[in-house]
Structures are given as C-alpha cells and as structure tokens.
Amino acid sequence: MIKAFQSIMNIPDLRRRILYTLFFLVIFRLGAHIPVPGINTVAIQQMAETGGGGLFGLLDMFSGGAFKQLTVFALGIMPYISASIILQLLTVVIPSLERLAKEGDQGRKVLTRYTRYGTIVLTAFQAYGLAMYAESMNSTGHMIVMNPGFGFRLMFMITVTAGTAFLMWLGEQITERGIGNGISLLIFAGIIARMPMAVTTAIQEFNLGQLSIFKIVIILALFALISAGVVLLTQGQRKLPIQHAQRVVGRRVVGGTPTYLPLKINHAGVIPVIFASSILIFPSTIANLLGSNSSVAQFIQSFFNPYAENMSLWRLVPTGYDRVGLLFFLKMINPYNFMFVLATVFFCYFYTAVTFNPVDVSENLKKYGAFVPGVRPGKPTSDMIDKILTRITLPGAFALAFIAIVPEAVTIMLGVPYIISSFLGGTGLIIVVGVALDTMKQIESHLIMRHYEGFVPQRPLKGRGNW
C-alpha cells in the first residue's frame, strides 16, 4: 500500500486530480464556517452545545456542522439529492423524461439541468423554513436572530440558496477535474469533519465520569465490527456463471472461456440511506414553516423524531412491570425508525431497478455470444437474473437499514452523546466506507492502467508463472 501511495505522486494526471479534489474540499470546509448575516454566533454556539441527535443532527452531520451553526452551507448538498430523487421518480412515470434518460449523454445533460432547477426551488423552500425555525428559537431564550422579520427571512433564503448552488457546482467540478464522485465526497468530508469534535466529546465525557472504560471498549469493538460489516455489505456479491461461445478467427478458435456476472447484494450502495433521510426531512421543514407554537407542527416534530417514545404503547404497559427495561424497545419502534427502514428497503429496490436492467443485460449477453449455462438466452435469462437480484437485494436492504439505525440504539442503550454514536454505524459510517472504497477503486484503476501496482497487490495463480 505504501508503494501505491508513492506511485500516485509519479503520475502527473492522477496527482493533479487529487490536488484539485483536496483544494475543493478545503473551500467547502472554509464556507462551512461563514455565518449568515443577522445571526448571533455566540447564541448559536450555546444552543449547538446543548443539541442532540435526531433529524437535525443528521442534517448537521451531512453538512459538517454547518447546519447548527447556520452558515451559508447550512443545508449542504441535501436539496440536490432530494431533487435527484424526485426526478428519478418522475422518470419512471413520465414517458418524455424516460426517453431523455435513454438518449445517452445529451439526455443526461438535460436531466442534470432539470435537477439543478429543482435544487434551487427546494433549497429556497427549505431555507425559508429554516429561517422561521431560527426565529422561533428566540422565544426559548436563545437570541439567534438579531433582527427577525420578513427581511431576515428573505436574506437568509437567498444566502443559503446561493451556498447550496455553489456546493452543487463544487461537486460537479470535483467529479470532472478531481477524483471520485463530487457530491458523495462533499458529504464524506462533512461527516469526517465531525470526528475531532466526537473525540473531544468522548474525552470530556470520560473526565466527567459519564463514559467508563467498559463503555469505551464496547464502542471500539462495535466500531470495528460494524465497519467490517459495512465493507462486507458493500463488497458482497453473487457470481452468476457466464459461458462465452467459441468462434473461429482465421485458424484460431477463440472464446469459450467461462466468466461470471457479479450481482451485488447491495447494488444501490449508500444511495437508499441518503434518499430515505432526504425524504424524511420534508415533514420537519413543513413543521418549521407552521411555527413552533402550532399543535400540528409539534405533532409532526414528535412523529418524525428518532428518539421519541411510542407513548400509545407506553400507556398499555402495566404499572407493575419494568417500564425502564421496555424504554429501549418503545423508542426503537417509533414511527420515524419504522418509516426509515421501510423507505430504505423501498429505495434499495427502486434504485437497483433504475440502474440495473436485467433485460438490457440479457440482450448484451446475447449480442456478444455469451449465455448462462443451462438457461436459454433472451427472456428466460432476464427472468432468472431478475429473480436472483430480487432475492439477494432483500437481505441486503434490511442489513443496510439495520446498520443505519445502530447509532440511535447505541445512544439509548449506552447513554453516549449522538456525535459519538454516529460513527458506530448509521448513515455516516455507511457513506464514509462506501465513498472511501469507491474513491480507492478509481485511484487503483488509474494506477493499474499505467502499469503500477494497486492498493491490493495481485498474487500469482497456483501452478502458473504469470500474474
């Protein structure tokens, strides 16, 4: 691996791409510390120190701390992801958008332009709700907004919308000139930026006696175990054997070599978790628009809170029973976690269906003279691929959802702050591992293409002298 890092510096194009990526990520982190005009930064800091997890904690994690600080990048890149979800859903429903998706690069450029327009609209809507939420904090004793009113809301909406638009451009520049997927790397950088704060919080909790050595050992063991599980989930695949037909080229017989078609158990990667999180943000945005004093807003906030107990079930428990022992169970089956699991499973199947078409795969195999042994080409092959993909996606989807709700479970069971438990699984760890693996694969492909050794050295096959 050390040789691979040394080889990166020997390739001018790869070195330039990595430096571009680091430069753009530094700009992102600088912008995450520029507050919106009219915000009391001292009051924001005091409120952020007392804040916990929940959906707003999730937003703050994606934005790298910019959400709770109400900076120009407060909403991060999440509106862009939400716009992508809506457009992909509409692509399945609207025939004209479906035709654009099949037109190649030109059609994708048009869809990208539609996504940008949708991002601006969603950002303006969410920014206005966030401005009202900031104003409502004044009534709790935190003078967040110095001059509340329509003027502040308009200025806040324009500033945050411009910040998200800039992040959208920044992500596209990383994808084009840097290495890896720009949007994913921005989220990756926002999550990693919270790690020093998590370490500091753990040290403070330990000094205060609220975090024991036993809990620290459990946390480290869980981190290693869940990280290995995320890697296994990301890399796991079902190998479908493929046989190529033999052809006579001149005097030689070519082809006939057996290969395999990799079918991932988690073909959608981290996208379902991001999609599910984005969808569950909308109700809280609407609640902010209604105001904190509204009974409807209070109901929505309690309904879409991962830490809210299911009080309807709580009342059914007899007084004589151990209610404390049931607290964990009642919190974990609240409406938010239930909807999050369902949304994650749905988007696993949805995104897999959008990005992987068994009919196209079957036609391509038939076109190049390949077939699955024992299965007729054409529709029987596509039906078999679809059946296998449907079966292996289900356990992968539930495993993804299980890992995603681990931080809430750890926070409830061990009583550690959310900023620490967020690195023990959940959306953050899934995104970090997935993006890191994808970026390393792209770097490794550049190295191997130029005859350098990758991060994982290839070993010679037994009985053969070649590599």
What is the maximum span of the chain, computed from C-alpha positions, in angstroms? 87
> Per residue in 435-452, pLDDT tens?
888 888 888 777 777 665
> Per residue in 105-150, pLDDT tens?
788 888 888 999 999 999 998 888 888 877 777 666 667 777 888 8
Looking at residue 68, its pLDDT comes to: 67
Provide the mean pLDDT of the chain. Answer: 77
Q: Is the pLDDT of residue 166 over 90?
A: yes
Domain of 281: which CATH number? Answer: 1.10.3370.10
Kindly state whether residue 466 falls inside one of the protein's structural domains: no
Average pLDDT over residues 183-191: 84
Looking at residue 61, its pLDDT comes to: 60
In degrees, rounded to 5, the angle at the alpha carbon of residue 80 between the alpha carbons of residues 394 and 76 is 105
Give the chain's domain count.
1
Cα gap 233→153, rounded to integer Å: 43
Kindly state whether residue 153 falls inside one of the protein's structural domains: yes
Q: Are 75 and 285 in contact (CB under 8 A)?
A: no
> What amino acid occupies position 326?
L
User: What 3-state DSSP class applies to 259?
Assistant: strand
Tell me phi and psi for residue 260, to 5 degrees.
-145, 155
* Distant-in-sequence, close-in-space partners of 464: CB < 8 Å, separation ≥ 6: none
Kindly state whether residue 206 falls inside one of the protein's structural domains: yes
pTM exceeding 0.75:
no
Percent of the chain with pLDDT over 90: 4
Q: How far, in Å, are 91, 150, 361, 461 from residue 98 at the CA level?
A: 5, 41, 18, 46
Residue-range definition of the domain harbouring residue 165: 2-449
Cα gap 283→57, rounded to integer Å: 15
Neighbouring-strand partners of residue 35:
71
Looking at residue 54, its pLDDT comes to: 45
Average pLDDT over residues 231-237: 85
Kindly state whether residue 12 falls inside one of the protein's structural domains: yes
Kindly state whether residue 459 falls inside one of the protein's structural domains: no
Cα gap 157→342, rounded to integer Å: 32
Kindly state whether residue 467 falls inside one of the protein's structural domains: no
> Per residue in 384-396, pLDDT tens?
988 999 999 998 8
Of 27-41, 51-65, 168-182, give the lowest mean pLDDT range: 51-65
User: What 3-state DSSP class applies to 35?
Assistant: strand
159-68-278-420 Cα dihedral, nearest 10 degrees: 150
Q: Are 362 and 261 in contact (CB under 8 A)?
A: no
